[in-house]
Amino acid sequence: MKIISILGVSGSIGTQAIDVLRTHKDKFQLGAISVGRNIEFLEELLYEFNPPLVSVMNEADYNRLKQKYPKIEFTYGDKGLIDVATYRSDLLLTAVMGSVGLVPTLKAIENGVDIALANKETLVAAGSLVMQKAKKHNVKIIPVDSEHSAIYQCLNGEHLSEVKNIIITASGGSFRDLTRDELTTVTLKDALNHPNWSMGQKITIDSATMMNKGLEVIEAKHLFALEVPQIKTLLHRESIIHSMVEFVDNSMMAQIGNSDMRTAIQYAFSYPKRYWKNNPLDFDTISTLNFKPMDFERFKMLKFAYDALEIGGTMPAIMNAANEFAVAEFLKGKIEFLEIEEIVESRMNQHKVVQDPDLDTILYYDALYKRAEVNE
């Protein structure tokens, strides 16, 4: 029985992970969990799974819940995330959104807990530090993003020295068929209407801007130890081929399946084994698969990510923090859609890069570039 702890259990990835646990109760046991403000959902989980350790965001919820459920250990705040991350589990699913997942992930690695990584920002902001620490503590980092999971599966048993390129596919998001001129009138409701995937608000907006794909490019650099020119992106509107690997002999491997995050989540949980799952791909319903080169002029945020990766140092963390700030402002209705990329570009241009930053430096700039006003 494998014990699975979850950071961010009430989010899109977290709730789908719970579905996986329900399907395979004979193989997985829920360990420690963290939740934000969705206490109603949390209490349903307490009744169903009786987890041993629970972290909540607010002290008031912590005080109320520990009185109501005296047999469960409760904790809260930033310390609570670390408590969950360092719980004696076999695997930690990091499914919180944003750079808040960085420190708990590092603490889990230091405690020898393998990571199922669904938090892009951890590797974007501090990929070198995370991968170095994972190597030092002999900890597995198993990607949960469908694209990285696909590459991980294609590379299983292969030699990285024989990899020519990896190709990360992108659906194109909510606005894949719109010109830049047409983007000036899109609304928040439009942006949240993803054509293929059911995801949380922030990642859905990132998909619409193509920043999500940019974050995945940076993640791939750290996960698979590749050079930047080896990481390609390709528009594939059906989201059936989740990513591909091209080898030096020009042969290619692709991982294909339905647009269902539970497949990648279950693979991370069961690795190196595979378990039965519903919802198989029906080839009788697939008429065509479409591919299109990525247009960096149309999808400027993807170009920003490649630029940040080439510059290195603190620049990827600054790009990520600026994007988190801008997306939050868009979700609040304070800015227009295209202003997201304007804010990210402006803040990247403003930043004086620090090469080889330590964790404190990364966290300092991460907090600084999430503010409304930035003064270095």
Q: Residues comprising the binding site for Mn(2+)?
A: 145, 147, 216
CA 211 from chain centre, in angstroms, equals: 12
User: Could you tell me the sign of the dihedral formed by the alpha carbons of 282, 25, 16, 118, in that order?
Assistant: negative
Please state the residue numbers annotated as binding site for 1-deoxy-D-xylulose 5-phosphate: 120, 146-147, 171, 194, 207, 212-213, 216
Rounded Cα distance, 101 and 299, in Å: 27
Rounded to an integer, what distance in angstroms lies between the CA atom of residue 145 and that of residue 169?
Answer: 12
Q: Which amino acid is at 366?
A: D
Which residues of 181-332 form beta strands (DSSP E)?
231-235, 241-247, 252-256, 292-293
Cβ pair 254, 241 in contact under 8 A: yes
DSSP 99: G
Contact 289, 240 (CB under 8 A): yes
CB 103 within 8 A of CB 83: no
Query: Could you tell me which residues are annotated as the binding site?
Result: 11-13, 36-38, 119-121, 145-147, 171, 194, 200, 207, 212-213, 216
Q: Which residue has the tokens 């919180």?
A: 96
Beta strand ranges found along 157-221 (DSSP E)? 163-170
Please state the residue numbers annotated as binding site for NADPH.
11-13, 36-38, 119, 121, 200
Label residue 168 left, alpha or beta by phi (over 0 means left) and psi (-120 to 50 means alpha): beta
Instruction: Report the sign of the C-alpha dihedral through residues 18, 16, 216, 255, in that order.
Output: positive
Check: CB of residue 86 under 8 Å from CB of residue 108: yes
Q: At 138, which amino acid appears?
A: N
Closest by CA position to 215, among listed 133, 291, 309, 144: 309
In Å, what is the CA distance from 149 to each residue of 142, 240, 244? 8, 13, 11
CA distance readout (Å), 233 to 150, 166, 188, 257, 306: 14, 8, 26, 18, 11
Any long-range contacts for 193-197 (C-beta under 8 Å, 24+ apart)?
A: 195/171, 195/237, 196/171, 196/237, 196/238, 196/239, 196/259, 197/171, 197/239, 197/259, 197/261
